Amino acid sequence: MKTTRIFRNSLFALVGLIFSATAWSHGGAAGTDTDQCKFELEKDHWIHYTAYQPKAYPAEEFCGNIPDTDSLIQLVFDYQDQRYRGMSVEFEVTKEPEGTRVFYEAPKKHKSGTVILNLPNGVPEAGKYLIHITLLQDSGERLDAHMSFKAGGGQPTSAGSYGLYALVLFAGLYITYLSHAGFKRKVDELMGKAKEL
């Protein structure tokens, strides 16, 4: 009974670790006050940005550092202000410092507030890139925003991923503990010896 309680408490601790690691991976806050993945279009008006490499890293989100250069890169933009949804938006990605264009999407409206841009072959080489977003108002006024990212630096496994791996391993061991009398006996013996120390 006591061993079951220890495993249950350990499970809760691991779940807490995973959720706290996930929260900190995007700047440590749910709001946009400390969010590193955003563009400021005007004072207090933002577009949130997330990058993905779904083929190489299917469960990871990226912002300023994209690990691979030669794998599909998806750039996802979410308008955090309804008034931008009626404007035409132009996107461009350039290699810096040369300013060489590697991606361009002509101005068009995105009524849903979410834009997904696919760079099917990634980017041509490792280095620094700049995302240019231009919103075109009906009056002809242009709102420009820029955000840089680095590609090709590789990506270590995040703390959230380690927590998830630990949780899966722990869950597998716990199921084995509950379902196999021999394994349960060995674990109970080890726990008994640990208490004696």
Interval 142-173: pLDDT, tens? 888 898 999 998 754 455 555 666 667 777 77
Q: Which of 113, 94, 99, 86 is nearest to 151 (CA)?
A: 94
Tell me if the pTM is above 0.85: no
How many Cα atoms sit within 13 Å of 111 on the Cβ side? Answer: 0
Give the integer Cα–Cα distance in Å for 27 and 22.
10
Q: Rounded to an integer, what distance in angstroms lies between the CA atom of residue 3 and that of residue 1?
A: 5
Please name every residue paired with 39 in a beta bridge, in sequence order, or none if there are none: 47
Please state which CATH number belongs to domain 34-151. 2.60.40.2550
Q: Cα–Cα distances in Å, from 174 out to 3, 11, 30, 144, 183?
A: 11, 9, 32, 54, 10
More confident residue, 132 or 79: 132
User: Smallest Cα–Cα separation from 67: which of 118, 130, 21, 126?
Assistant: 126
Mean pLDDT of 15-20: 47
